[in-house]
A and B are shown apart, each in its own frame.
Chain A
Amino acid sequence: MDAFLQQCVNALQWGSFYALIALGYTLVYGVLRLINFAHGDIFMVGAYIAFFLSTAFLDPNGMFGYSRELTLVLTLILTMILTSCCGVTLERIAYRPLMRKGVHRLYVVITALMCGLVLENGNLALLGASRRTLPELLEKKVYVFGGITVTNLKLFVIITAFLVFLFLQFVVTKTRVGMAMRAVSYNKFALPLMGIPMSSVIVFTFILGSGIAGLGGLLFAMSYPVLEPYMGAMTGWKAFIAAVVGGIGDVRGAFLGGFLLAFVEVMVTAFLPSTFRDLFAFTILLLILWKRPTGIFGLPLTTKI
């Protein structure tokens, strides 16, 4: 039983990463009906930004020489801001010109895939293939509840993911800009008639999505402090699948999907040989999609009146 609960805690942490990335996929899809395949690599960019910032801030011989706590706070804020800039830049230079010309969405999706590859390989060319390690930003503390051990970092990751989810759910359902985001997904034509600039809603969406991916990158790098240019590729793919299984376009769906995938993965690895992990995980997701093609929170397809 303790082993099971311990695995649940691990799944919660692992799921937090998937959920944070999946939220970005689902936000952009909700607004633009665009699958932003570069999103996993935005997560990687976030991890690298966190690495450079924290290394610079911590270096006792450098110009900052800050304490760990201050470094963590500054890195967290700046990573989110800078990663947002990266996401918004992609939208500006790659997606928007295409969408302005009114091309089919497929071309924009392919462009997103290419942008992801450019980010990966740009990183490889610029920084080389050597793996990098994030300095320790949080002094490790271990809490023991019964038979379960939880580190403060794990708690930090899980709580952050839940707070982000609550924040997003609030923004999307309760604020006017959230209403505008939902409105675009249903009817693009009428939005300017409300006096709302479409481009601002899109930019806001990319800021939210990429900022959260940056946060995910930082947390991931703190938990598994090995950074390499392709770290966003597989994790991004899996988060995307998680978002689809949850019901892409829905914030709750992405969040739940992320944890579901992590739960299945962790449980398979715990009780079966680890080579079975992805095979089992994706078979189960396939079965879920087979039953509910639009995902757990996805509505059945309806046509407009």
Chain B
Amino acid sequence: MLQVNNLKAAYGKIEALHGVSFSVNQGEIVTLIGSNGAGKSTTLKALMRLQPPESPTVTGGNIFFHGSSMLKTEPHNVVGKLRMTLVPEGRQVFGNLSVVENLTLAAWTNKGDAKKDLDYVFGLFPRLADRMKQRGDTLSGGEQQMLAVGRAIMSKCTLLLLDEPSMGLSPLLMYEMFRTLKELNKQGLTIILVEQNARMALRLAHRGYVLDTGEIVAQGTGEDLLESPDIKTAYLGGH
């Protein structure tokens, strides 16, 4: 589905990705793990074709979506035409819009039955239904995270990129979020997951890639990476 070949990306003159290659097959959950500054978020922003200054410029390599290069695709067309979207780091909900307005707006490119999808999201996150008319910035961190994931569902995309969905969530909410992701995956959604919580991510994912300072240093199935002694000491806290 997605093939990343030797991707190089930079913020201004500072190169952040030095040739990253990986692939994602339809129906998979693939996770990118690594320490702070490894280039995980940068990779996701580059995949979405988001523009500087917040996002990097691709300086080399290529990204293929179903076989054709998407380097010239504008971000709104990545969502609208290629049907992939990103739940960005820090949630980025529209704080001045109500919950239901946030969700309605996200259905901009959804050609199907948006009303049904809205009911589906409210079924998945009943808390959002309770706070339907509330402004986005009055929600708690966890609720905003649900809203951010809910927006992605409303877009009806087939490939979902998630940047640190567990950030700021209580353990209970985090499990709930991961269970929801697994459920969505079972229904056919392909997921690329970037996580600080590497252990959780590897348990959920079919395959994983380990990023370190802009390069892929290890890859394998979730279980293999969890068991690998090197990975354990470097990224999983040693035990």
Task: List A residues at the B interface (Cβ < 8 Å).
Answer: 102, 176, 179-180, 182-183, 185-187, 189-190, 192-198, 302, 304-305
Report B-chain residues with C-beta under 8 Å of the C-beta of A180: 105, 108
Distance between A180 CB and nearest chain B CB, rounded to angstroms: 6
In the assembled complex, 30 residue pairs joining A and B whose CB atoms fall closer than 8 Å, in A order, are: A102-B52, A102-B53, A176-B108, A179-B97, A182-B94, A182-B97, A183-B94, A185-B96, A186-B95, A186-B96, A187-B92, A187-B93, A189-B92, A190-B93, A192-B76, A193-B48, A193-B79, A194-B105, A194-B108, A194-B155, A195-B80, A195-B85, A195-B155, A196-B76, A196-B105, A197-B74, A304-B95, A305-B95, A305-B137, A305-B141
Instruction: Give the Cβ gap from A303 to chain B, nearest Cβ, in Å.
Output: 10
Q: How far is the CA of A189 from the CA of B109 in the complex (A)?
A: 17
Complex Cα spacing A176 to B96, Å: 14
B50 at the interface (CB under 8 A from A): yes
Task: Contact check, B105 vs A193: say whether CB atoms are below 8 A apart.
Answer: no
Q: Do B155 and A179 touch across chains, with their CB atoms under 8 A apart?
A: no
Question: Measured between alpha carbons, how far is A185 from B86 in the docked complex, in Å?
Answer: 20
Is there an interface contact between A194 and B151, defined as CB atoms closer than 8 Å? yes
Q: Is A192 within 8 A of B50, CB to CB?
A: yes
Q: How many A-B residue pairs have CB under 8 A?
A: 77
B212 at the binding interface (Cβ < 8 Å):
no
Chain B residues with CB under 8 A of A194: 76, 79, 105-106, 108-109, 151, 155
Pick from B53, B80, B104: contact of A179, CB under 8 Å = B104
The answer for the CA separation of A193 and B77 in the assembled complex, in Å, is 9
Closest chain B residue to A303, Cβ basis = B137
* Residue among A185, A187, A189, A192 with max Cβ neighbours from chain B (10 Å): A192
Whether A196 contacts B108 by the Cβ 8 Å rule is yes
Q: Which of A176, A183, A196, A304 contacts B137 (CB 8 A)?
A: A304
- With a cutoff of 8 Å between Cβ atoms, the chain B residues found around residue A187 in the complex are 92-95
Closest 7 CB pairs of A and B: A195-B79, A195-B109, A192-B75, A190-B92, A195-B80, A183-B94, A186-B96
Chain A residues contacting B88 (CB-CB under 8 Å) are 189-190, 193
**How many Å from the CB of B65 to the closest CB on chain A?**
15
Task: For the complex, give the distance between the alpha carbons of A302 and B105 in Å.
Answer: 23
Interface flag for B54 (CB, 8 Å): yes
The answer, yes or no, to whether B101 is at the interface (CB within 8 Å) is: yes
* Bound CA–CA A195/B105 (angstroms): 9
Q: List residues of B whose CB falls within 8 A of some A CB.
A: 48, 50, 52-54, 74-77, 79-80, 85-86, 88, 92-97, 101, 104-106, 108-109, 137, 141, 144, 151, 155
Complex: A176 Cα to B114 Cα, angstroms: 13
> Which of B76, B77, B88 is most buried by chain A, counting CB atoms within 10 A of its CB?
B76
Shortest distance from the beta carbon of A274 to any chain B beta carbon, whole Å: 42
Residues in B neighbouring A189, C-beta threshold 8 A: 50, 54, 88, 92
Cα distance, A196 to B110, chains bound together (Å): 11
> Are A183 and B108 in contact, with the CB atoms below 8 A?
no
Among B50, B80, B88, B92, the most chain A Cβ lie within 10 Å of the Cβ of B92
In the complex with contacts A179-B104, A189-B88, A195-B97 CB distance below 8 A: no
Cross-chain contact A183 with B141 (CB below 8 angstroms): no
A185 to B97, CA, bound (A): 11
- A183: chain B residues at CB < 8 Å are 94, 96-97, 105
Q: In angstroms, how far is the closest chain B Cβ from the Cβ of A197?
A: 4
A9 to chain B, nearest CB (A): 36
State how many angstroms separate the Cβ of A201 from the closest Cβ of chain B.
10
**A198 contacts across to B, CB distance below 8 A:** 76
Q: Which residues of B contact A192 (CB under 8 A)?
A: 48, 50, 74-76, 79
Say yes or no: B76 contacts A197, CB within 8 Å: yes
Known: A179-B97, A193-B79, A193-B86. 20 other contacts (CB 8 A): A102-B53, A180-B108, A183-B96, A186-B94, A186-B96, A187-B94, A190-B92, A190-B93, A193-B48, A193-B88, A194-B76, A194-B79, A194-B106, A194-B151, A194-B155, A195-B76, A195-B108, A195-B155, A196-B108, A304-B137
Query: CA of A42 to CA of B48 in the docked complex: distance in angstroms?
Result: 37
Q: How far is the CB of A164 from chain B (nearest CB, A)?
A: 23
Closest residue of B by beta carbon distance from A186 = B96
Contacts of B53 in A (CB 8 A): 102
Knowing A189-B88, A192-B76, A304-B137, the reply to whether A176 touches B104 (Cβ < 8 A) is yes
Task: Specify which chain B residues have a CB less than 8 angstroms from the CB of A196 in the assembled complex.
Answer: 76, 105, 108
Contacts of B85 in A (CB 8 A): 193, 195
A19 to B100, CA, bound (A): 31
Nearest CB on B from A194, distance (A): 5
Residue of B nearest to A198 (CB): B76
* Chain A hits for B144, CB < 8 A: 305
How far, in whole Å, are A222 and B80 apart by their CA atoms in the complex? 46
A194 and B97 alpha carbons, distance in the complex (Å)? 14
> How many angstroms between the C-alpha atoms of A190 and B93 in the bound complex?
8
